Structures are given as C-alpha cells and as structure tokens.
Amino acid sequence: MDDASIGSFLELLRFPSISTQPEHRGDVGACAQWVQARFQTMGLEAELCPTPGHPVVLARNAHRPGRRTVLIYGHYDVQPADPIEMWEHPPFEPRIRDGVVTARGATDNKGQFFAHMLGIEAALREKGELPINLIFLVEGEEEVGSPSLVPFLEANRERLLCDVIAISDTGMVARGHPTFSYGLRGLTALEVRVTGPATDLHSGIYGGAVANPAAVLARLLASLHDADYRVTVPGFYERVRPIEGWERETWAALPMNEAAIRELTGVPQLDGEAGYNALERIWARPTAEINGMGSGYQGPGSKTVLPAHAFAKLTFRLVPDQDPIEVQDKVIAHLRAKCPPSVRLEIERGHSGAPYLVDPREGFGSAAARALKKTFGGREPALVREGGSVPIVADFKRILGVDTLLLGLALPDCRIHAPNENFPLENLEYGMRLNMVLLEEIAAA
Ligand SMILES: [Zn+2]
C-alpha cells in the first residue's frame, strides 16, 4: 500500500462524521464532500445528493450497454466515540502501529469502502477503464438506520438499477481467511419509559406506598427472558427459520470456537439460549438486548430518592423470517400486559431493519467466492452468517430486486462500535485487490 493511499485514508478518518449527534452535522457534511472530491480525482462522475438527513454521495463511470452494472455500497458516517476515556488516543486522530490503524470508523465502514475506492482507482490507472458499469453509493446515515436512503432509492430507482450489489461491511472469521456472509440478522429498536410520581420523592416519606419506577422497569426488563435465556415475549419465535444441517456442519468446521469468543470479549463464561452453541446463537437465533438504562441518583455517595422515572433502550436482533414491526407489536403488548397500574408506561418505536438470507451457492455468489479465493491466495472462503445488521440489504432486494454480496473485511478483534476501533493496512490492500478481481469475475459471470 503506497503512502499516498494511506495518507488519504487517514484524512478520511479525521472527520468526526457521527451521524446521530446534531453537533457533528457539519463534520458529516464535510466528510461527504471529501468523498465526492476523492471520486472526482479518480476520474469518476460524482455528485452530492441532499436528503432530509445527511447527503448521499453517488459516483459512476461512463456506462456502456452490454456490460454488467455493479452497485457498490458503503457508509461514511460513524458511531459516537464514547466512552472517550477508554481510547488510547483521540478517536479522530488516527494512529498506525504495527501496520494497524486505530480510529473511530477505521473498520466500520471507512476502511472497507475506501478499499473499494482504491481498487477502482488502481483499475482506472492501470487499464483506463473498468470491466463493468459502476454505481458507487456512499451514504451518511447507516448508523442511525438509514432513514433517508430508502426514499432515496425509491426516488432514484431508475438510475440505480443494477445486476448485483457488493458491500464490505461485515466480518472475516480470522485474519487472512476470506469470508462470504450469506445471512444477516435484522433489528428493531424500542425505548421504554416508566413514570411514577410527578417529581423525585423522599424515599423515607413515600417509599413503600408509591411504586418505584426503577424497580418496575427492572421487573419489566427481567420479564423479557426465562432462566434458559429464551425470549418470553409471546409469539417471538413464531417465524424463526430453523438452522439447516449443512449450516451446522459448515460452522462447526470454522476456525472460531467458544474459547476464542470468550477471550475476545473478556467475559468469564459465555451465556445464551439453551440448546444452541455460541455461533448458532449469534448468527441464526434472535435476541432481546438492553442497550442502555437510567434512573435516579447517579452522583457520588448516596441520596435517598424515589426517582420520578426510569428508561431503557432496547433492541431485538432478528433472524429470517421475523418481521420487525410484528416483533415491535408483540414486545409492546408483552410490556403493557406486565406493567402495573401504579406507573405510566410510554414506549417509543425506534428504527428497524429486516433480516436477510441468500443462497451462497448460486448466481453471482459463485463469482464472489472465486474472487475471494483468488484475492486470498487460493484459500476457500468461509460461508458464514453475520450477527449484525445491514438493514439496507433487505431494502436493496425489495426496491432494486437484486442480491447483495457481503464480502466483509472486518476482523473479529477490530472493536467496531467500541473504543480503539482498528483496521489493518493488510485488509486495505486485500480489499483493494478484492474489488479489482470481483469486478472482473462479475463481468465474466
Ligand atoms: Zn456500524
């Protein structure tokens, strides 16, 4: 990887393009402009498309009839860097140590989509043109559920029509081991707020006669699971597709085991739904997660308060063929049924994304597998599902009618969404070469 390309990557990482925080709106816009300018420097036609939220950057080469059209998708927005104090250096001042770049967004998703940009740049430099008609779409709202992208896809459907979509925003099973993700979990979010008294009360004067919202919320949250870690919301598992025999066998042979997951996460012991191993739980079983909660006094020492309210932020990871809105409805009904009349319960619906599954042995899938194998020195790609969500994949299928090839470059220890997120320069190089080989293979498929 040449110094100019690395320097350019570091420039991209310096934008604090945090889509969820209003104070970073300007940074998100500046990052989009940088991406647009970079496409133009490469010799592509690139535009900044405004949306009600953050802009979409759209680039293309000169399309010619008779060639396949490939849409490459990425996102330039990033997660917040909190907790800042856990970072070894400021999250938007990238550092390189032992060939690994550390910065917020290094893996998710700047390193991965930038690798594709470098591949296209190299192909244009070496051959003067690409083997396919290219549409490169980079959005700025992936980390907040892509609210503007679906309307954008619908409004621009004609000029976004393509044969296949490629995305690098998923994981690799191990360093140097090419990985083809043929399934994704979906997601649906809810915020729960329990309100009791009009203001915080003295816990001595009123405690015992007035319900404590923190205690009520704790009971509600505990009611989401049974002792076997199964989700207790009635009907939650109704549409869950069972894991197939060939999947169990393939996954069991992967170089990922429970000890490795324990070591990566630092937990004393793994835990989860009874009857499934860790990979099966993460890739093919749905979950209920508490992402944040708060209530009462948070300062030093003690304060004998009966808090006025308590809140929790929840997300549910979903698998085929669960429907996010149907799950929201079921969870809301469950919580309402469990909530005592001594408090008020408000539930706000958050963003959603459908789960996704594509047959890994058909269509452009085999072209992707060949490209992965060639890029990684002849090694057979691992066929995996992914526990995370890329909701836009299901939207692409629905609106543009095409499959998505998920060719991830994220390593298991890349710490996405966490402090000290990192991406090895080796993967920037792999991604660049993968892009070049993939476009050749798709052109020939
Ligand atoms: Zn992310």
| pLDDT reported for residue 361 | 79
How much distance in Å is there from the Cα of 289 to the middle of ligand 1?
A: 17
Report the alpha-carbon distance of residue 364 to residue 359 in Å, rounded: 10
How much distance in Å is there from the Cα of 416 to the middle of ligand 1?
A: 7
- Our CA angle for 360, 364, 368, nearest 5°, is 75
Report the alpha-carbon distance of residue 183 to residue 382 in Å, rounded: 13
How much distance in Å is there from the Cα of 79 to the middle of ligand 1?
A: 6
CB 437 within 8 A of CB 431: no
Report the alpha-carbon distance of residue 141 to residue 153 in Å, rounded: 14
How much distance in Å is there from the Cα of 341 to the middle of ligand 1?
A: 38
| Alpha-carbon 403 to chain mean position | 18
| pLDDT reported for residue 270 | 96
- pLDDT tens digits along 193-248: 999 999 999 999 999 999 999 999 999 999 999 999 999 999 999 999 999 998 99
What token pair was written down for 34? 């940088």
How much distance in Å is there from the Cα of 390 to the middle of ligand 1?
A: 9
Report the alpha-carbon distance of residue 189 to residue 70 in Å, rounded: 32
| pLDDT reported for residue 445 | 86
| pLDDT reported for residue 412 | 87
CB 182 within 8 A of CB 318: no
How much distance in Å is there from the Cα of 352 to the middle of ligand 1?
A: 14
How much distance in Å is there from the Cα of 140 to the middle of ligand 1?
A: 11
| pLDDT reported for residue 353 | 87
How much distance in Å is there from the Cα of 104 to the middle of ligand 1?
A: 10
How much distance in Å is there from the Cα of 77 to the middle of ligand 1?
A: 9
| pLDDT reported for residue 438 | 97
SS3 380: coil
Report the alpha-carbon distance of residue 283 to residue 286 in Å, rounded: 8
**Average pLDDT over the chain, rounded to an integer:** 95
How much distance in Å is there from the Cα of 389 to the middle of ligand 1?
A: 9
How much distance in Å is there from the Cα of 163 to the middle of ligand 1?
A: 26
| pLDDT reported for residue 363 | 81
Mean pLDDT of 113-125: 98
How much distance in Å is there from the Cα of 228 to the middle of ligand 1?
A: 29
What token pair was written down for 57? 């950057």
Closest CA to 101 of 445, 444, 424: 424
Mean pLDDT of 416-428: 97
The span from the first CA to the last CA of the chain, in angstroms, equals 29
How much distance in Å is there from the Cα of 142 to the middle of ligand 1?
A: 7
- pLDDT tens digits along 242-301: 999 989 998 998 877 888 889 989 999 999 999 999 999 999 999 999 999 999 999 999
| pLDDT reported for residue 381 | 92
- pLDDT tens digits along 349-388: 998 888 988 877 788 988 998 999 999 999 999 999 989 8
Is pLDDT of 391 > 80? no
| pLDDT reported for residue 338 | 98
Is pLDDT of 24 > 90? yes
| pLDDT reported for residue 366 | 87
How much distance in Å is there from the Cα of 314 to the middle of ligand 1?
A: 17
| pLDDT reported for residue 386 | 87
How much distance in Å is there from the Cα of 303 to the middle of ligand 1?
A: 38
How much distance in Å is there from the Cα of 144 to the middle of ligand 1?
A: 9
Is pLDDT of 145 > 90? no
How much distance in Å is there from the Cα of 145 to the middle of ligand 1?
A: 10
Fold of domain 186-240+286-353: Alpha-Beta Plaits (3.30.70)
Mean pLDDT of 421-444: 97
- pLDDT tens digits along 167-179: 999 899 899 999 9
- pLDDT tens digits along 255-265: 778 888 899 89
How much distance in Å is there from the Cα of 226 to the middle of ligand 1?
A: 29
- pLDDT tens digits along 52-91: 999 999 999 999 999 999 999 999 999 999 999 999 999 9
Report the alpha-carbon distance of residue 440 to residue 62 in Å, rounded: 17
Domain ranges of the chain: 3-184+355-444, 186-240+286-353
Architecture of domain 3-184+355-444: 3-Layer(aba) Sandwich (3.40)
Is pLDDT of 421 > 80? yes
How much distance in Å is there from the Cα of 197 to the middle of ligand 1?
A: 38
How much distance in Å is there from the Cα of 293 to the middle of ligand 1?
A: 21
| pLDDT reported for residue 167 | 96
How much distance in Å is there from the Cα of 195 to the middle of ligand 1?
A: 32
How much distance in Å is there from the Cα of 203 to the middle of ligand 1?
A: 41
How much distance in Å is there from the Cα of 78 to the middle of ligand 1?
A: 7
Identify the band that residue 33 occupies on the pLDDT scale cut at 50, 70 and 90.
very high
